[in-house]
Structure 1
Amino acid sequence: MSFKNSRAERSTITRDTVDLERGTDNIYESIVMLSKRANQINVDLKEELTQKLQEFASTTDNLEEIFENREQIEISRFYERLPKPTAMAIDEFENGELSIRAIEG
């Protein structure tokens, strides 16, 4: 999934619980599914950000260099402005991009 093209809300909005339970007919299953997907998105975002910031890793402790690295600052700001993983998961759910698999055991 491309996080850069996410259509998710960037701020908190009120959601109707009836809409959230439509896909599973159970609000609790929907919430569990959304939380698991949000965790997956969060891990992916964190890995991507870490990879990009490792390019700027320095072996020296030069304080001036740390504060003047504009590219690193811009990358960090970009990720800070992205919608929250929970909002991305809800957007995927509302657009029918998520499905639940029942595991019988």
Structure 2
Amino acid sequence: MDIKNSDAPINTITIDKNKVDAPTDNIYEAISVVAKRATQINTEIKKELLEKLDEFATYNDSLDEIFENKEQIEVSKFYERLPKPHSLAIQEWLDGKIYYRNTKDVESEA
């Protein structure tokens, strides 16, 4: 997943319901798949951010030595400007990049 080069919108936009539910023919199933993907994306972004911020961590117990780290602030601002996980997930869904399957269909074939 390349969130830095995604064409997902940063602001809220209206999306045609028919485009969202076209792959599944069920809007609730489509939203469920997108929500699960958004959770995965959020977890990945959070892990990556915490790894980068951990580089700036100081392990002093003294409150007198708290200072602003400009690099840490820039990293935080970069992640704040990224599209939200649900925007990234819905863009992946509309682009056909999310693989899903209905387990009920698989069980009925067996």
The structure having more radius of gyration, on CA atoms, is 2
Aligned equivalents of 1:15, 1:95: Cα separation in 2: 13
RMSD (Å), alpha carbons = 1.1
Number of equivalences: 102
Query: What residue in structure 2 maps to residue 87 of structure 1?
Result: 87
Residue 3 of structure 1 deviates from its aligned partner by: 1.2
Aligned equivalents of 1:97, 1:91: Cα separation in 2: 9
Aligned equivalents of 1:51, 1:21: Cα separation in 2: 36
The alignment's TM-score, normalised by the length of structure 1, stands at: 0.92
Residue 42 of structure 1 aligns with an amino acid whose one-letter code is N
CA distances 1:21-79 after superposition (whole Å, capped 9, x unpaired)? 0011100000000000000000000000000000000012412x2x2x00000000000
Runs of 4+ in 1 over 3 A off after TM superposition: none
Task: Give the gaps of 5 or more residues in structure 1.
Answer: none
1:9 matched to 2:18: no
The alignment's TM-score, normalised by the length of structure 2, stands at: 0.88
Residue 99 of structure 1 deviates from its aligned partner by: 2.2
Query: What residue in structure 2 maps to residue 27 of structure 1?
Result: 27
Task: Give the gaps of 5 or more residues in structure 2.
Answer: none
Residue 6 of structure 2 aligns with an amino acid whose one-letter code is S
Matches within 5 A, 1:52-91: 52-60=52-60, 61=62, 62-63=65-66, 65=67, 67=68, 69-91=69-91
